[in-house]
Structure 1
């Protein structure tokens, strides 16, 4: 089934066009040009700021001129993740999508529904000739997924709207009024390389099949972190054998829970069989621990090519201890909101190769002080083994305002539209609202969207029926925007 036959057709049409364009964070040149050309072809005022954010202004429809101007906002970049056995070039290929019942999915890669559905919804409204709406300022931001630099460097001067609707929430029955801030912690250590054991046996170990997911939204779900699991395995083996590490590569993106990790190790030839038995036994232990969460967890061990060099043994011990000790997952639950993670950290990337030991992690919190606390815990762990630590990309959270005027109106509209009330609260993920609120002098803001599952992983999918309901509700909101 073609996506363009789904309802609403205009939205799915633009989503399909969008997903034909490679649009990784910080590689958005093609999608920026696409959005610019789209606005210009409609004859609408279109501006690109210095960093690449695009603004398209559409006048109010007849009879709506005295309503308040609304900013509709979504980000154009997407997380590029794929399964290890999926041949795909994100720099040149469009997303290969398919319909699976009530869901749209991609073959072996992320789908880009985060936040492509929001972008497509805005485009459909801008192109529509039969939709009532007030004056619209469509804000398409860049680089939300790897640092929110688009929002942070946005030129606020052209914007006049005092209501901002962010279309980046991933549960259709939720209205978001707050979010977490974040901070990146990157570490780098150097080590001496020594010759591999003479007569040693080399093995390639792979952990794969984990769910992964969004390091904010999914961190509470207790999913396996491939970097931490690999370290547990290597630590256990190191206690029993003269284990040497040649290379390790785990995880990829800073805001995704790592799904895969690969290591090349060497053991004395005489320990070859015993080592293999230990790995398989410990793999069974991990699979038992995670059987209700990670049904597809796989740990493979195969003979490998003997490397010329390995990590110096004393430093290898330090690295194993540091990765074991570094916090990962939920750091603190919110005392103010039920089941809301206040602070967390995700060990997203571990790379060991050619004398360089690198980690990347992302700390999040709705409270700045606990964000700094968990970030310091991560920093201190790696400084203790002599790593150089840099912390960058910090961005603020969005403090909830339960007295928001637009929130109260939308709750009333929601009840009229769906005959029930939505959930209202904050999320443990980064939205651009906190940054944009400060830059635009405090517009009244909410965030909502359709149901998206598995964001930031190849299991990402969007519910078709929820997209139709979301879009219908968005049009309902625009018809009822209050007067100036």
Structure 2
């Protein structure tokens, strides 16, 4: 319950997080949270504005004695990934997130928590509202639609901000200071097909892949997590090869930046092959569970008889689709040759929809190297075009190149070591952060990213560590005190 959350320390931050999480804020539906933030700034008597794309900027003067420090921008995004468990009844458009405390963690009941990036937003709100926190002049930048296109950052015009240091609060490891990130591009394959009447003596079945962990398609792409769309395709391919399985519908995955947790397909097989087909599916389930037992111990494949559908896919298109999905790269494509253990390039086959004569496949390709990103995007394009799909590239955004000579990086490294007796982990990440985009219109701004421990982002297992939030909050307060003179 939010009352339980409001008692956590630091109360100022957790109270703002509870306020924020009471407001529905899925990506591309941020009207209510924009209004919420506008009211918040105006009620504090601070200069508050909304730009032409929906970003909110709130400005606060420096604390007494801090007027000569370098003005800063504190930045987080307002939207959140909306994912829920299959058996959870929840409407992200109308309901606030239902939170609870689980030991040292805050979780949500069957949905994403919104700690990504709600804890960053709440941090900035707490500082804007405070009367006793020392800080330089602040421009609080709350962007929209980070999770599904970064259109807020892309639409932010130059000249709106005068801060010379940007603190991005969207990193998810409390011992990490982010200095770079991957860029990304959406790859979408579509085509139409002719539906055929289902022949006589066919039996309908629904195949469900579920129980996967899911997760962040950037930060967790290297972990070997199961992809429900790829698993489903293996089942469909095997069923066709052995029993002539025909596809009627597929509905797999959800958002491009979430590793698919579930997939459903409606298929038909010859009635005479039912027993053998069911046995084969059981054997495939056992094989896949053994293959993925370490990372996906709860993988579950359910095959249940349903009413035989009236229509099925054209056979040639079905064969092309399953082969293209088999060939389409999913996971890590290349590791960085320059930064140890950094994924350079990857792809997430995020969404597969087959229904009513239409196919749509949605992917998110990420890379910290532009040429490598386009190489993989073109590889996917080639695989899907070979099966007759039209392929569109969209939502292209740049990466953020590391600056190891960053002045604010030096300040934060020294502060972290002073506070904790050890050096922080200075790293680039494979997620998409807004810094690279913002830097296009503000090239002279010194940028850094950091945040508290958040696990399972982009999945209903998302959780924020309470002790880490306290550690992070103390770090934020120290950073504000140590911003150098202008």
When the two chains are superposed, the root-mean-square deviation of aligned CA atoms in Å is: 0.7
Q: Which residue of 2 aligns with 1:237?
A: 239
Q: Which residue of 2 aligns with 1:108?
A: 110
2: CA distance, partners of 1:125 / 1:334: 37
Report deviation, 1:390. Answer: 0.7
The residue correspondences of 1:78-477 to structure 2 (distance < 5 A) are: 78-477=80-479
Residues 197-206 or 74-83, more deviating: 197-206
Report deviation, 1:127. Answer: 0.2
Report deviation, 1:56. Answer: 0.4
1: CA distance, partners of 2:426 / 2:466: 23
3-state SS in 2 of match to 1:282 = helix
1:22 pairs, out of 24, 41, 58, with: 24
2: CA distance, partners of 1:333 / 1:466: 29
1: CA distance, partners of 2:385 / 2:324: 9
Q: Which residue of 1 aligns with 2:5?
A: 3
Report deviation, 1:195. Answer: 1.1
Say if 1:345 and 1:363, in contact at 8 Å, map to a contact too: yes
2: CA distance, partners of 1:333 / 1:176: 18
2: CA distance, partners of 1:275 / 1:126: 62
Report deviation, 1:441. Answer: 2.5
Deviations 1:292-347 (A, max 9, x none): 11011000011111101000111111111010001110000000111100000000
3-state SS in 1 of match to 2:426 = strand
- Consecutive unaligned residues in structure 2, runs of 5 or more: none
Deviations 1:211-245 (A, max 9, x none): 11000000000100000000011111111112111
Report deviation, 1:155. Answer: 2.6
Say if 1:56 and 1:139, in contact at 8 Å, map to a contact too: yes
Residues 153-162 or 277-286, more deviating: 153-162
Report deviation, 1:192. Answer: 0.7
2: CA distance, partners of 1:50 / 1:338: 40
Report deviation, 1:197. Answer: 2.5
1: CA distance, partners of 2:64 / 2:155: 34
Report deviation, 1:437. Answer: 1.2
3-state SS in 2 of match to 1:182 = strand
Q: Which residue of 1 aligns with 2:483?
A: 481
Structure 1 runs (4+) deviating above 3 angstroms are none
3-state SS in 2 of match to 1:437 = helix
2: CA distance, partners of 1:335 / 1:441: 26
3-state SS in 2 of match to 1:2 = helix
1: CA distance, partners of 2:341 / 2:145: 29
Deviations 1:388-418 (A, max 9, x none): 1110010000000111111011111111112
Say if 1:196 and 1:244, in contact at 8 Å, map to a contact too: no
2: CA distance, partners of 1:180 / 1:366: 4
Report deviation, 1:459. Answer: 0.4
Report deviation, 1:196. Answer: 1.2
Report deviation, 1:70. Answer: 0.7
3-state SS in 1 of match to 2:403 = coil
Say if 1:52 and 1:142, in contact at 8 Å, map to a contact too: yes
Deviations 1:79-122 (A, max 9, x none): 00011111111111111110000000011110000000000000
2: CA distance, partners of 1:273 / 1:201: 11
Say if 1:197 and 1:267, in contact at 8 Å, map to a contact too: no
Say if 1:414 and 1:420, in contact at 8 Å, map to a contact too: yes
Q: Tell me the TM-score normalised to structure 1 length.
A: 0.99
Say if 1:197 and 1:266, in contact at 8 Å, map to a contact too: no
- Consecutive unaligned residues in structure 1, runs of 5 or more: none
Q: Tell me the TM-score normalised to structure 2 length.
A: 0.99
2: CA distance, partners of 1:417 / 1:444: 23
2: CA distance, partners of 1:269 / 1:298: 24
